[in-house]
Amino acid sequence: MTSAIATEFEPVIGLEVHAQLLTTSKIFCGCPTAFGAVPNDQTCPVCLGLPGSLPVLNRDAIEFGIRLILALGGRVNSPNIFARKNYFYPDLPKGYQISQYDRPLGEDGAVEFEFDGERRRVRLIRIHLEEDAGKSFHPETADQDPDTLVDLNRCGVPLLEIVSHPDIRDPREAAAYMQQLRRNVEYLGICTGNMEEGALRCDANVSVRPKGSSEFGTRTEVKNMNSFRSVERAIVCEIERQIGLLESGDEVIQQTLLWNESRQTVEPMRSKEESSDYRYFPEPDLLPIAVAPDWLNDVSEQTPELSLERAARFVREFGVPEYDASVLTDQKGIADLFEDVAREVSDAKLVSNWIMTEVLRVVTDRHPSVETLPVQPPALIQLLGMVRSARISGKIAKDVFEIMLQSGEAPEDIVAKKGLEQISDDNKLTELVDDVLNANPKEVTDYRGGNTKVLGFFMGKLMKASQGRGNPKRLNEILRERLGPPGGEQKPE
Ligand code: ADP
Ligand code: MG
Ligand code: ZN
């Protein structure tokens, strides 16, 4: 951030986040919601908005919303009411979006998260349900039809909109808030949290004010960020633009801006509409939704442990450092894997190191999620069990892991087939040491003359001679025994 932000102005940020719900069908019809289908294949008269069709509410959409509201300590409104939000857009065939307005599904509650080593709490205004609109494409290449294309598969996919109070003061904090929401919806099983696929979207409301001022400045709304990083960048960019305006005596105009990822700039989209422009009114085709207390109790009882609680428990139960616990709980699948493996392999730090390095590298680079990883808990338990009992070295284990990923074979089988077991037999190890010492008399003399650095040289030779299979701890001990004390016997008086 520029120094101007740090000194004279304070940013004020409030986020509106849309989470696409993981229901199998749409919110008001039976069409499937799967991502990436053939355009316009997943549509019916209801989601196409054909005259005479009527919406039928999907119970799961309500339940998923309730899960999040309760998990965040919010209040569920009974009844809550759907409303029509009227506007024209080519990807909105009905001419209105069914949303919620003055009786949303939920109100209040807060998102808690770690930021710069501190616990932060951003309060929520409301959480409501609405239907998604379609998608417009504007092909620009010469060989494509230059007209705009519309895909209506997304029409009627359920969205949960989570609106925060303007409690955020730093673009990095905004990204951290988004990350925590992503973990929460993933742990609750209501949304994939995938920003790149648009399953989690963020509109950032941004204003700046002189430091110490208690009034908010005029805000703008920035849309179209498709990663956590671009949320942060877009907000930084908008803060700088607003400060520039104020410093040169201009005013900030309330408007909606689009983040341009390739140019890394914000660009005006439209002047900000007021809610009165939408002519909201209660949706006449849907009844108010009463939520029975029993339903709330059931959902509440099933609320799973979320990431922050789980991280704290990992520290308590497994004794891993806080840093490890936060990395391990970032994705639910990884946290499950750690827990399954650490219960069986009685060295939680070994398991944690392995998951944080080897497993996460593979998940990040080659497999989109831990669920599709070909290495599941039983295989990892077997592999790390062999490391723990010194049957194979840590280094060999990495090679075995790679083979497991490629072939799906069990680690025991790979080790047996390839003869990778660690050599821990003292006779064999002593033989190896003697061979290496005999072959390198100059370094032996150096060591005995006081140069202990050659120990590393000998260990390198020994690991090479044993093809990485010599037990390094025993080799080191035997080596020192055979060499005698450094500089001991030969030092002339
Ligand atoms: P709308 O529906 O028009 O977008 P809302 O009242 O629902 O308006 O608020 C939208 C978001 O704007 C909320 O997240 C809120 O925290 C944020 N917000 C309101 N005022 C400001 C401000 N002055 N600066 C930054 N964010 C703000
Ligand atoms: Mg808004
Ligand atoms: Zn449909």
Place of tokens 């509440």: 300
61 & 124 share domain: yes
> What are the beta bridge partners of residue 256?
221, 270
In this model, does residue 487 exceed pLDDT 80? Answer: no
**Where is the domain boundary, 371, 388, 418?**
418
184 & 91 share domain: yes
258 & 141 share domain: yes
92 & 215 share domain: yes
Q: Average pLDDT, stretch 366-374?
A: 66
Asked, as a colleague might, if the bond just before 374 is cis with ω within 30 of 0, I would say: no
Which ligand 1 atom is at minimum distance from the Cα of 164? 14
In this model, does residue 65 exceed pLDDT 60? Answer: yes
Tell me, yes or no, whether 350 lies in a domain.
yes
Q: Between these two residues, 426 and 17, which has the higher pLDDT value? A: 17
382 & 476 share domain: no
User: What local confidence, expressed as pLDDT, does residue 418 receive?
Assistant: 84
153 & 271 share domain: yes
Tell me, yes or no, whether 82 lies in a domain.
yes
Helix residue spans in 248-365 (DSSP H): 293-301, 307-318, 322-328, 332-344, 348-354, 360-365
> Would strands 158-164 and 9-20 be described as parallel, antiparallel, or unpaired?
antiparallel
Pairwise CA distance, residues 99 & 275, whole Å: 13
How many other β-carbons are positioned within 10 Å of the β-carbon of residue 330? 16
Is ligand 1 within 6 A of the CB of residue 473?
A: no
Tell me, yes or no, whether 146 lies in a domain.
yes
Place of tokens 């840590």: 394
Instruction: Find, among 60, 8, 488, 27, the residue nearest to 295 by Cα.
Output: 60
Widest distance between CA atoms in the chain: 108
266 & 321 share domain: no
Q: What is the pLDDT of residues 214-232, one digit of tens each?
A: 999 999 999 989 899 999 9
Ligand nearest to the CA of 17: 1
In this model, does residue 123 exceed pLDDT 80? Answer: yes
Task: Give the sign of the dihedral formed by CA 227, CA 232, CA 235, CA 236.
Answer: negative
Q: What is the pLDDT of residues 274-311, one digit of tens each?
A: 667 899 999 999 999 999 999 999 999 999 999 999 99
Looking at residue 443, which CATH number applies to its domain? Answer: 1.10.10.410
**Where is the domain boundary, 295, 326, 351?**
295
In this model, does residue 142 exceed pLDDT 80? Answer: no
Q: Ion ligand 3 — residues with CB under 5 Å?
A: 29, 31, 44, 46-47
Tell me, yes or no, whether 64 lies in a domain.
yes
Ligand 1, atom 14: nearest CA belongs to which residue? Answer: 14
Instruction: Find, among 4, 6, 13, 8, the residue nearest to 210 by Cα.
Output: 8
- Is pTM, for the whole model, over 0.85? yes
Which helix or strand (DSSP H or E) is residue 171 part of? helix 171-187
Tell me, yes or no, whether 491 lies in a domain.
no
132 & 94 share domain: yes
467 & 398 share domain: no
pLDDT grade for 420, boundaries at 50, 70 and 90: confident
409 & 389 share domain: yes
- Taking phi over 0 as left and psi of -120 to 50 as alpha, with beta for the rest, 385 belongs to alpha
158 & 245 share domain: yes
Tell me, yes or no, whether 489 lies in a domain.
no
Between the CA of residue 136 and those of 149, 265, 386, 447, what are the distances in Å? 6, 22, 54, 74
In this model, does residue 366 exceed pLDDT 70? Answer: no
Tell me, yes or no, whether 4 lies in a domain.
no
Tell me, yes or no, whether 287 lies in a domain.
yes
Instruction: Find, among 96, 35, 62, the residue nearest to 295 by Cα.
Output: 62
Q: Between these two residues, 372 and 163, which has the higher pLDDT value? A: 163
Q: How far is the centre of ligand 2, averaged over its atoms, from the C-alpha of 321 (Å)?
A: 40
Q: Average pLDDT, stretch 459-474?
A: 89
Q: How many domains does the chain have?
A: 3
55 & 109 share domain: yes
**Where is the domain boundary, 365, 397, 418?**
418
User: What local confidence, expressed as pLDDT, does residue 206 receive?
Assistant: 98
Per the structure, the complete domain to which residue 445 belongs is given by 426-483
How many other β-carbons are positioned within 10 Å of the β-carbon of residue 386? 22
Is ligand 1 within 6 A of the CB of residue 11?
A: no
Is ligand 1 within 6 A of the CB of residue 205?
A: yes
- Work out the mean pLDDT of the chain and round it to a whole number: 91
